[in-house]
Structure 1
């Protein structure tokens, strides 16, 4: 008996995690948080097709969406959202729209064209998920996606986005200007150039597809916002991330457990330097197009939360937090600065944070974008080869 007590004490952390997990209704298997429910016949774990739908987050009348296009706006927590899509697609053997190399369709200065994807050897099968950086062109994206594709994106408070993008894009090194000098000296109509690493004012308007010559015309931006409102069924908000994840689960008819995600590609604190109010005032005027986009979709987001139900939302957010706490404990995620990580788990920029996990079971949550893309390319090449072999064989 005494030996059993010692064993229990030794593994008290694991036992505590399992107890909490049982209370929260989940179990991590094969890198996925599976959900539990009580049954009159047994208390066994349910298979994936029998997952309990959390707090009516997913209507029982809908089916999971598998054809999805995500406009990946710069510095809008979009890498974290991309990770959710990558994990889900990888788990369910979905096909991805992938560039031959890198993480962009095009240069970022030119709008997406269907041939950017169709010319790639990685895209011989129609994709289910589009989640790659590109300057958006809705008509061209629709050309490469199934007809029942759903569209969504995410926005962020413009000054916070601008500050983060300045640090992340190494704009000081590229332009020779400090952040204050850039705000004071660079006009909004200055042409975007590759040497600035795409950094400039009104990044959201640019990513949404605004032509450069119309970027600072608020009437044209407003027309684009009206089009985007019709095209995107959900526009998430970085500052309301937990609610955004709940709405995303509802929109895609996925489990709430599919929304568990780490704060990937987040700028390290040492590179965050708050602006003085004077500079914020100047910048706010220069970012008028982005503020038009942000304020419109923030108001729309509030309406969607209201339609979802405030009480129902509070319950779902609480459940999401519980599951995230359990996942953090089971995987023993440790946040590290990028230079402290090695191999495939090291982010491409030294200015961001990454994560180390306990074992391969949790590794997909921690994979940086470029490493995950390499994994998907490898998998997709194999699938294309198998498909080509099967279709080239004569019928038996």
Structure 2
């Protein structure tokens, strides 16, 4: 985890092992790396030499729309995403200074320099690198299928990948994109689609090897586990006006959960990322019993 009190590593530069908080004398090695960072395989491999590496990609247009709202880019640009697509996308606006968000955010997060985001030769090379570096690239549009594949690679029971959806925007905070906007952004993000489509196809092949009938059954099992989890743990889906403490969301535009406090383990599924960071920081610094 980061040395400072942020629950993510900087996005201004690729990750370096020196950015990680030092281990306590009782610890011998790091076990997990789960915080936001700019991908740097060799530095991460240095910290976790035996690790299995996984990441997730999302349809680039849907990812950009989500980021546009979540990061309040409509406020920064003084226009909604449809107007942005018509007026700004073709001009290739530079990444917002100090925000580190913008075009092809997923590629930027994977360590590709901004000046090379549209370089076809470089993107082809990085696809080969990512293919070698990641044991699994999950796809958000196949989220449950990806979790089943992850559980298989990690030799986990499916119970280990149960979840409640986090950071889901309120309905009124989702923007309806016109067909023209989708077409413009798809072309603008074409190199991001190049990476996304490659790993989507690779996941499809992995799903074939797993066995489609077997996969369908395991996805059904996971979804039933999620249904029971929600039934047992969630008293109410709510916004921040009803949420407190470790369940209060970072932004008011998303929803969280009022959790059944009579079942202690339910809290693990609904904590926010900052709350989990604080919990893990205490554990790593050996101040948690």
Q: Decide: shared fold, TM above 0.5.
A: yes
Which of 360, 367, 370 is 2:271 aligned to? 367
Deviations 1:156-181 (A, max 9, x none): 11111010000000112233333233
Deviations 1:139-163 (A, max 9, x none): 1111222x21110011111111010
Measured in 1, the distance between the counterparts of 2:70 and 2:219 equals 30
CA contact (8 A) 1:100 1:121 kept: no
Whether 2:153 is the aligned partner of 1:275: answer: no
Measured in 1, the distance between the counterparts of 2:94 and 2:223 equals 44
Q: Determine which structure has more spread, i.e. the larger CA radius of gyration.
A: 1
Measured in 1, the distance between the counterparts of 2:172 and 2:23 equals 39
**Shift in CA distance, 123/208, structure 1 to aligned 2, threshold 3 Å:** farther
**Shift in CA distance, 99/187, structure 1 to aligned 2, threshold 3 Å:** farther
1:205 aligned residue: 107
2:88 aligned residue: 185
Measured in 2, the distance between the counterparts of 1:205 and 1:275 equals 22
CA RMSD of aligned residues (A): 1.9
Measured in 2, the distance between the counterparts of 1:321 and 1:150 equals 25
CA contact (8 A) 2:54 2:135 kept: yes
Measured in 1, the distance between the counterparts of 2:235 and 2:210 equals 32
Whether 2:13 is the aligned partner of 1:127: answer: no
Whether 2:41 is the aligned partner of 1:158: answer: no
1:109 aligned residue: 12
3-state SS of the aligned residue for 1:130?
coil
Whether 2:220 is the aligned partner of 1:314: answer: no
CA contact (8 A) 2:59 2:196 kept: yes
In the TM superposition, residue 189 of structure 1 has moved relative to its aligned partner by 4.3
In the TM superposition, residue 222 of structure 1 has moved relative to its aligned partner by 1.6
Query: TM-score when scaled to structure 1?
Result: 0.68
**Shift in CA distance, 109/193, structure 1 to aligned 2, threshold 3 Å:** farther
3-state SS of the aligned residue for 2:286?
helix
**Shift in CA distance, 237/193, structure 1 to aligned 2, threshold 3 Å:** same
Whether 2:37 is the aligned partner of 1:139: answer: no
**Shift in CA distance, 149/188, structure 1 to aligned 2, threshold 3 Å:** farther
Deviations 1:337-391 (A, max 9, x none): 234312211011111111121013311100010011111111221269x9xxxxx
Measured in 2, the distance between the counterparts of 1:334 and 1:301 equals 35
2:144 aligned residue: 242
CA contact (8 A) 1:305 1:313 kept: yes
**Shift in CA distance, 383/127, structure 1 to aligned 2, threshold 3 Å:** farther
3-state SS of the aligned residue for 2:95?
coil
Measured in 1, the distance between the counterparts of 2:241 and 2:129 equals 42
2:225 aligned residue: 323
In the TM superposition, residue 266 of structure 1 has moved relative to its aligned partner by 1.6
In the TM superposition, residue 235 of structure 1 has moved relative to its aligned partner by 0.8
Whether 2:240 is the aligned partner of 1:341: answer: no
Provide structure 1 residue ranges, at least 5 long, that are not aligned to the other structure.
1-96, 387-396
Q: Counterparts of 1:75-114 in structure 2 under 5 Å?
A: 97-106=1-10, 108-114=11-17
CA contact (8 A) 1:215 1:221 kept: yes
In the TM superposition, residue 122 of structure 1 has moved relative to its aligned partner by 5.9
3-state SS of the aligned residue for 1:241?
helix
3-state SS of the aligned residue for 2:37?
coil
CA contact (8 A) 1:336 1:355 kept: yes
3-state SS of the aligned residue for 1:173?
helix
3-state SS of the aligned residue for 1:254?
coil
**Shift in CA distance, 299/346, structure 1 to aligned 2, threshold 3 Å:** same
CA contact (8 A) 1:188 1:201 kept: no
